[in-house]
A and B are shown apart, each in its own frame.
Chain A
């Protein structure tokens, strides 16, 4: 175990160094990628960097953030909320210890009969109110920011939660749907990916631009959650939810379903791969029916591609759940 971990870290570090240079990255990834993937064309799944976009061993804080709301949220938590709540807890603990020592029966045999002090009661009502206002102001600002809507031309990805896998549809790019199932632990580890979090087909998006994520549940409620992007949005059947996602830089970001959705709730992870725009477009074109450009312009093409994509999706749809079962079973 230890040796494998070490190896993982080494590879990770090597890749981390090359992340900045797109070509080097591709080269490194090709080298490491399984042969099967190479057959599908230019796109090769990116190797994740250990500790980036995934939980860190024994960590006591948030995952490193890769979105603006993430940085803001983390700042708000670490530098506004944490100091305040730590202070309050320490204050209460300090007062408790003080009265326990100072007013123990041995030290203070005759209790006072004081049971009122209007001034102090007003103070301890008003001071918390002020503290809460201090918290509320940045909190509201941050909330408003999280709700900024995506621009018209933003890429739209429709995320569908199924029992128990995810589907990522790209309506602007021909309407194909990527069906994403969990990889069994041994395959994940062989790929250099984190156990329980790796998937066979990732949701691929461009980095550095606003993406309109729309979620919907196909059967029950799921929740599309990626901790390192400060992102969580429920996928509710019969209604579409929308929220902007902006990933700062290329990388692989893992998440999981975070709303109880049945037996395999724990076995439908999320992996988002953010790529530079050109690499993303290359990936799109490799998808069945994938297209780039204004959908109005190539409407005919879209219709044709639709059918194709759908058939492909259905085919995978039928095949994949069985595989998930295997994945889960091996995980055991």
Chain B
């Protein structure tokens, strides 16, 4: 196990730092030209919360539109956003803009910034005993590129995109709908947003890989790194290998749109299906990019609150590596209905099911970690337990969808929507909240309310399950994705899902109440506030950690590996 610090780590270390290292720069310099990994991590977290409000708000508009058949609010919103009054097509176009924006925001501007930009930035250097990231300035550039990407995406919503304002192509931006099918600058701005966010993430990936390879404290071998660091390392490799392919694909889309090239249009012998291959070559690793850091966070939390080292540490680390590797050879399971040959479909069915094996190893190892432990049900632990269950539900429906023969019915139905929201909205987001409450006092030096955190979990758990579980039913009954209107037969479960959304929204209100609580009450947190069981290096520092940590590198003794 990667446990490194003894329970009785000398506290004088902190004092030593505080004495001379905490020269914080002035406000503007600190927050706008920051080169400090902790400050940049905080910026990412704030940005992610901000983007989540917009992305989640959009899903609210969609959920309320869908609570009954017919078009309820879309025309109003379309008019509100500057489309001509009473134009039905622009209202429908707005629907496509909403589904597109929701997907892109949640993937690129909520989950990725929170997991990689936020938590990984904050804790990877600390957990490996490094003073900062390898390239602090590039770290800053990464953040501001992501931020500008978000601005570009927001701007695209107010640009003409063919039949209305904004890019209505779906987050997958399939050609030729995104090329010949969507005139106007909106799609260009959307693509540009992906370029910026992608460039930021690639830089981030290089930064993490270099940091983890070169800047580990003496004695911190790869096989002693905490699993969260392992998860970020694998994620960084996925980013590094997958995102450039997306960048190439969307650049070709841009030139197809603007410079008469024909990479993906049949006119010049291009093939729209090739775009899908390229997109999903990126897109499938992308879903692991979003969930792997979550796996890492959950491993830390489960171990901490079981007061036990993680069970099967090496198996856990290499299960993530295996998921990452296999993630690159299964992409076409997103394209089962596109006209693949039977052999391709069989291969992708088999390869996809293989992923269930390392994923199973992780689930069972978490349970084995708790087995024989001494479990404390703090708020992060409760979120982590919720994660394991919800992720299992999302995972098993993935096995169903992996079967090309079954996917012939379920492809692009609400079943798929339910599946990926269980692994991402319920999986990754639950892991984010778990990480948030695990490290909140560490990052900000003050306590959140444990009661409110647990209350939030209870409400959130009920809410999201009500939103997404009925979607399995809708999908099997034949409801298609990306539809603003539907046959009345689907009304019941859509109505239930919308009520679930309302409940989930309350849990988000509790989340903000909890932040306000922390700000108002200002209950100071000690260095290792979780006590025994919290053994990684961040618990050897004060809360919040000194502005510059580990000027003197901690040495991890070889004998420490008590796993």
The answer to whether A and B touch in the complex, with CB atoms under 8 Å apart, is yes
Q: Which residues of A are in contact with B by a Cβ distance under 8 Å?
A: 54-63, 69-70, 72-73, 76-77, 81, 84-85, 88-89, 92-93, 95-96, 99-100, 103-105, 108-117, 120-121, 124-125, 128-129, 132, 135-136, 139-140, 142-147, 163, 194-197, 219-221, 223, 225, 227-228, 230-234, 236-239, 241, 255-267, 325, 328-329, 331-332
- How far is B307's CA from A241's CA once the two chains are assembled, in angstroms? 57
In whole Å, how far is B317's beta carbon from the nearest beta carbon of chain A?
Answer: 13
Contact of B373 among A111, A197, A238 (CB under 8 A): A111
- Report whether B413 and A258 are in contact in the complex, using a CB–CB cutoff of 8 Å: yes
- Report whether B92 and A264 are in contact in the complex, using a CB–CB cutoff of 8 Å: yes
Q: Which residues of B are in contact with A by a Cβ distance under 8 Å?
A: 1, 69-71, 75, 88-89, 91-93, 95-96, 99, 162-164, 168-170, 174, 176-177, 180-182, 266, 271-273, 306-313, 315, 337-339, 341-342, 345-346, 349-350, 353-354, 356-357, 360-361, 363-365, 367-368, 370-377, 385, 388-389, 392-393, 396-397, 399-400, 403-406, 408-409, 411-413, 473, 476-493, 562-563
- How far is B314's CA from A125's CA once the two chains are assembled, in angstroms? 14
Chain B residues with CB under 8 Å of A260's CB are: 96, 99, 169-170, 174, 177, 481-482
In whole Å, how far is B410's beta carbon from the nearest beta carbon of chain A?
Answer: 9
Chain A residues with CB under 8 Å of B69's CB are: 195-196
Given contacts A85-B397, A95-B367, contact A196 B309 (CB under 8 A): no
Given contacts A146-B405, A237-B272, contact A219 B487 (CB under 8 A): no
| Nearest 9 CB-CB pairings of A with B | A238-B266, A227-B478, A85-B396, A112-B372, A241-B339, A55-B489, A142-B405, A147-B342, A58-B492
In the complex formed, the residue of A with least CB distance to B382 is: A100
- How far is B308's CA from A104's CA once the two chains are assembled, in angstroms? 13
In whole Å, how far is B271's beta carbon from the nearest beta carbon of chain A?
Answer: 7
Contact of B487 among A54, A232, A238, A267 (CB under 8 A): A54
- Report whether A258 and B308 are in contact in the complex, using a CB–CB cutoff of 8 Å: no
- How far is B415's CA from A232's CA once the two chains are assembled, in angstroms? 15
Chief secondary structure at chain A's binding surface: mixed
- Report whether B342 and A81 are in contact in the complex, using a CB–CB cutoff of 8 Å: no
- Report whether A111 and B476 are in contact in the complex, using a CB–CB cutoff of 8 Å: no
- Report whether A135 and B353 are in contact in the complex, using a CB–CB cutoff of 8 Å: yes
Contact of A92 among B89, B182, B392 (CB under 8 A): B392
In the complex formed, the residue of B with least CB distance to A242 is: B339
- Report whether A139 and B405 are in contact in the complex, using a CB–CB cutoff of 8 Å: yes
Chain B residues with CB under 8 Å of A81's CB are: 399-400, 403, 406
- How far is B548's CA from A69's CA once the two chains are assembled, in angstroms? 64
Give me 15 A-to-B residue pairs in the complex whose CB atoms sit less than 8 angstroms apart, sorted by A's number. A62-B409, A69-B405, A70-B409, A73-B408, A88-B396, A100-B375, A103-B374, A111-B307, A112-B372, A114-B311, A129-B357, A132-B356, A221-B177, A258-B412, A259-B174
- How far is B478's CA from A261's CA once the two chains are assembled, in angstroms? 18
Contact of A230 among B312, B408, B473, B483 (CB under 8 A): B408
- How far is B411's CA from A73's CA once the two chains are assembled, in angstroms? 13
- Report whether A236 and B272 are in contact in the complex, using a CB–CB cutoff of 8 Å: yes
- How far is B393's CA from A95's CA once the two chains are assembled, in angstroms? 14
In whole Å, how far is A197's beta carbon from the nearest beta carbon of chain B?
Answer: 6
Given contacts A109-B374, A238-B271, contact A265 B96 (CB under 8 A): yes
- Report whether A55 and B163 are in contact in the complex, using a CB–CB cutoff of 8 Å: no
- Report whether A225 and B405 are in contact in the complex, using a CB–CB cutoff of 8 Å: no
- How far is B271's CA from A117's CA once the two chains are assembled, in angstroms? 51
- Report whether A76 and B372 are in contact in the complex, using a CB–CB cutoff of 8 Å: no
In the complex formed, the residue of A with least CB distance to B163 is: A263
